[in-house]
Structure 1
């Protein structure tokens, strides 16, 4: 009985098609749920639609194969028509690449945001393709791994970054001459400065000058310690780790 059901859901039939689309909807939703929680532009609904669309594309490929060897057999043989059923899924991957690119931005702090969301969208599309192909065993393992990367490994990644000796800090200050004072204060704490990316701002428009400092902290100095000490400087109007 179980074997018959296993074979049935791997065939191309109405129940199998419905099962794959429903599975794409729910797995896409779960993948995007964590992105929605962190308030990313491409959230749960976007991941759901991408996953369902990818599954539909793969189902269309299978539909063509089914029709080729049943209702369209005589036409195919008469006109020697050749169909490449893999081209749809290949175009899905390309299309998701353009969609994912729109989620990656670089803000004024020179921080790249949206890479994980872009990767999540791409993985959601690949998940849909695998679901559409009926490869249930593979997609369940892949789904668990994607969720782990988004949720559990995100916490581990943040923990590693917070304990790293290297740190990037964005500061906004009142006048261009204040930067020299800030850099002197940083060096006095035994912190090594790798690079300084300066933005002179637009004083006439009310945009203060800013800089991104790439630094190496001494041993046992926490990220919160350096931010707290620098925030005590009167010339700094804003400070944040990037």
Structure 2
């Protein structure tokens, strides 16, 4: 079967490929005559994933440091024992790790009698299945152009250097498909606050990924997904 590119100058094919890539970019991002606003994704960011109790200790100590440094002097906080019944494993461990971190940072902890109380909210969210296979603009055009280049390289298999071309393209494609780990569908929002009388004097929230199979470690009693506010 004759090749459809026979007789076409290489420079012309490259030009056509670049125009095709530019066209894809135009329709995806540069169209100024759209009938409605086009949705825009956030820049790529990374979010930490909780996979071990050591991570719980790490984030609790980080929250303790942020909390204590919020005040000019070491704060005096009320700490009450956590109840084991009905609370998740994360709830109980985070309570202890946070207390440990606050003491290490110089805070004064009491079981009763203090106006400043520490509390935290735990909210577990389940999102729909996520996919990281969204193709960037120009991917199809680039693939066709790459296939043409590989086709010409095949004609020169006797030249070992020609093997570098398809190998490099294959390596780039593998890197593209495996750049990041799979994104879990479950997240946790952890908010730590300090209340003094009726006044909120400190609040900080952190968001982490969870493995869906570990959700039971974060949900109290396995029945509800929101635990809080919880007074320490």
Structure-1-length-normalised TM-score:
0.28
Identify, as 1 or 2, the structure richer in strand.
2
Give the greater-gyration-radius structure (CA).
Answer: 2
Bigger RCO of structures 1 and 2 (CA < 8 A, at least 6 apart): 2
Structure with the bigger percentage of helix: 1
